[in-house]
Structure 1
Amino acid sequence: MENNISVQNTVSASSSLCQWPQGQVRIVFDGDGVLFSDEAECIAKTQGLQAFLKFEQERGHIPLPKGPMQAFALKLQKVCQALGENNQWRIRTFLVTARNDVANLRVFHTLKEWGLDINETHFLGGLDKTPFLRAIDPAIFFDDSSENINRAKLHIPSAHVLYGIRSIGKTIGTVLSITELSLENDDEEQHIVGTNTNQQWLNEKILKN
C-alpha cells in the first residue's frame, strides 16, 4: 500500500496536483458498509462517536468483517496483477472513508490480513467526500450512504451499495452486493447486480480505454 493518506482537512498532493494518466481506470471504495461490514458503523449509529472510537481502538488488532464489495476489490487486484508490472498503472484503487486517523489502525490491519493492496487511503474525519472525489475523477465510486451518493453523482459515476444499517427501512433484509449506478452525464440509470456483473463492467471499461 502506498503511503498516501489524507486526514481530515486536506486533499492529498497526489490527488489534487497529479495529472492522471490517460486510459487509467480509477475505482473509489468507501470503507464501512462497502469494503468492510457495517459492524463498526452500527456502533457509531446506535451508541455515538466516542463509543465507536473506543470500540475500534480495543479491536485494532482484529480484522474487520468483510463487506459486500470486498470480493470485488480482491478480483480487481487480480485483474491489475494480470496486466503485468508495466501496465499495472492502468488500474488505481482508492479508499475514501469518513473515519479519522484515530480509527485507521484497524483498517490497515484488515487490508494487510486480506492481502488487499489499495493504492491510496484517505481518512476524512467526516468531511464532505465530494471535493476529494472530484480531484480523483474516478470511473466509479462505491458508497453505502445515500447522502454521499446524492452529492457525488452530480460530478462522477456513483454506485449506491444497499447494505446493512443504512438500508434498514429502505430494503427488506440485507442486500449484499447490489449497487445502483447513476450516470448523470448520460442522463440514465443502470443497475449493477452481483460481483460477476461488476467484473464484466470492469473488463469492458479497461478494454474501452
Structure 2
Amino acid sequence: ITMGPSGVKSISRPGLFGMDLSYTQAINYTYFICLVLVIFTIFIVHRLENSRIGRQLVAMGEDDIAARAMGVNTSKAKLTAFALGAVWAGIAGVLFAAKTTFINPDSFKVWDSVLILCMVVLGGMASIPGIIAGALILILLPEYLRVFSDYRLLIFGAVLVIMMVFRPGGMIPKRRKAYKLRPEELQDSAAAVPIGGGEGDAP
C-alpha cells in the first residue's frame, strides 16, 4: 500500500471545493489550513488543561501513585492521552504529506523526534506560549546559523545545554494557579478554629 522504501508519490494538495488551484494558490491555501489548525489546537489544549481529564493528566504527571490513591483511573486517562496524541499526529502527518506531495521512510528521521522534544523542553513543558516560542526558535535558529555550517550543530547543542542549566523550567514555564479564599470563606475558617484552651491545673 505504501510502496515500501520507494514511498508514496504524487500526493495531491488540499483542494478548494473541487476547484483546480495553481501551485502558488495551493501553497497559500495549505498555509491557511495549517494556520487555522494551529489556532484550533491551541484552543483545544487550553480547554483540555482546564478540564477534568486535563487535571487528571497533571496529577499523573506529578505522582502516578498519588493520583490513583485519589481515585483517578490512570489506565483510562493514559489511553485518552494516547488517543488525543494520535489524532493530532495523524492530522500533522496528513498536512505534511499534502505539503511535500511525496513521503518515504527517509522523510521521518529520529532527529525530527528529538527536535520536537527539544521544542517542548526549551519552551517550557505544559506551557502553551512556551512551546510555541520553543518551536519558533528551533525552526528559525538553524536557518540563521546556516552560514556557520561547520559549527551549526555545536552552537545549537550549546544553546540547549545552557537553557537546561540556567532555565530548567524552559523559557516560559507554566504558572501554577494561586487560589484565594473569598472573605466569607476566611470568616468561616476563622470561626471554625478554637481561640484558646480552658484554664486548669497542669497535670
TM-score normalized by structure 1? 0.26
Whichever structure has more helix as a proportion of its residues is 2
Higher relative contact order (CA 8 A, sep 6+): 1
TM-score normalized by structure 2? 0.27
Bigger radius of gyration, 1 or 2?
A: 2
